[in-house]
Amino acid sequence: MDDRKKARKIFSRIGGAYFIFLAAAMGVQFIVVLAIFLAGGKNLSLGQDIKVAISMACMYGAGFPLYWILVKRVPGRMDEYRKNNQAEVWGPGQLIVCMIISISVMEAGNFVGSRLMNILGQAAGETEENLVFQLISESNLLTLGAFTVVAAPIMEELMFRKLLIDRIIQYGDWTAILVSGVMFGLIHGNFYQFFYACGLGMIFAYIYIRTGKIKYTIGLHMIINFMSSMIAGNLIKAMDYQSLLQITEDNPEMMMEYLAANWLPLTMLMLYGLALIVLAVAGVILAICIRKRIHLYPAMEKISWGEKYLAVFLNIGMVLFLAMCTVQFVI
C-alpha cells in the first residue's frame, strides 16, 4: 500500500507538471492573441506562420520553464537503474533499423488517425480537414522547419523522454515506455497525430532507455519531422493542395486541367508515397525479425500490474492532464 501511494504521488506530480505546461501555454496564447486583436481590430487576420510562432513561443517560453521547475523536483532513480542495467552501445545499423520501423509505425498510425477522423466527420455530417496538411500547406516552410525540425524535437525529447523517463524508470521499462508514448500522443491534441505520435514515442522511449543517449532520439525525431514537414510539405505546396481540394469539391470538371498543370509535383508526391509504403513494409519485416532482441527489464519498485496502472493514471495530476488534453481534442 505504501509503495502504491508513493507511486501515485510521483505520477500525480508528473501529471501536474504537464497540466501546468498546457495550462500556461494555452493561457498565455489566449492573452497574446486577445491583445493582438484588441490592438489591431476585430478584422485582423493572423497568418499561419504567426499562429505557429505564437503557439511555439507560448509553449516553450511560458509553459516549459514552469514544467521544468516542477518536474525537476520529482525524484528519480535513473542512476540506480544504470548501475543495474548498463547502457548499450548502438551503431548506425541499429539506428537505421529503428528509423525504418518508425516509418512503418508512423504510416500505420497516420492511416488509423485519418480513417477515424473521416468516420467521426461523416457521423457528424461534416468534412474533416486534415489539420497537419492545413498547417503545412498554409505555412512558410522555413518557419515551419525551424519549429518542427529543430525546436520541437529537442524540446519534446527532453520533456517526454529524458525528464519523464528518468523519473519513472523504477516502475519498469514497459511502464516507462507506455507512459512516455501515451502522454506524447495526447499532448498533440488531435486524432490525426495521436496514434503515430504514441507509437513513435514508445519507440523513442525504448531507444533512450537502452542507450541512455537522448541525442539519438532527437536525431530520429528531427528526421521524421523533416520528412513530414519539409519533403512532403514542399511537394504539397508545389502541387497546390488547396486548389485540388477546391476543384474536388466545387469544380470536378476542371480536374483534367489541374492534373495537366501539376503532373510533375503529383508524380513526385506519388513516388514519395510509394517509397514510404516500401519502407513501411520493410519496417514490419524488420520488426518481426528483431522482436526477440527486444528486452525489457523488470521494475525496481515491485507493485502489481493492476495497482501500478491505477497509481499511474488515477491521481489528481494525471486526471487534470487528461482533462486538459480532452479539451484540446474536442476544440
Secondary structure (DSSP) of 200-215: HHHHHHHHHHHH--HH
Q: Domain check: are 127 and 252 in the same one? A: yes
Rounded Cα distance between 187 and 174, Å, is 20
A 10 A CB-CB count for 247 gives 17
Q: Do 91 and 70 lie in a common domain?
A: no
Q: What is the pTM of this model?
A: 0.91
Is residue 94 located within the same domain as residue 67?
no
- Do 311 and 328 lie in one domain? The reply is yes
Q: 326 and 181 share a domain?
A: no
d(CA 168, CA 177): 10
Q: Are 144 and 132 in contact (CB under 8 A)?
A: no
Map residue 56 onto helix, strand or coil.
helix
Domain identity same for 195 and 91? yes
pLDDT (tens, 9 = 90+) of the chain, 331 residues, equals: 588 888 999 999 999 999 999 999 999 999 988 888 887 655 566 677 788 888 889 999 999 999 999 999 999 899 999 999 999 999 999 999 999 999 999 999 999 998 888 888 777 776 666 666 666 667 777 888 888 899 999 999 999 999 999 999 999 999 999 999 999 999 998 888 999 999 999 999 999 999 999 999 999 999 999 998 888 877 877 776 666 666 766 677 677 777 777 778 788 888 999 999 999 999 999 999 999 999 999 888 888 778 888 888 889 999 999 999 998 888 7
User: Is 44 in the same domain as 102?
Assistant: no
Residues 139 and 238 in one domain: yes
Domain count of the fold of the chain? 2
Q: Are residues 57 and 165 in the same domain?
A: no
Q: In this structure, are 287 and 166 located in the same domain?
A: yes
* Residues of the domain holding 44: 1-77+303-331
Quick one: 231 and 320 in the same domain?
A: no
Grid coordinates of 250: 466545387
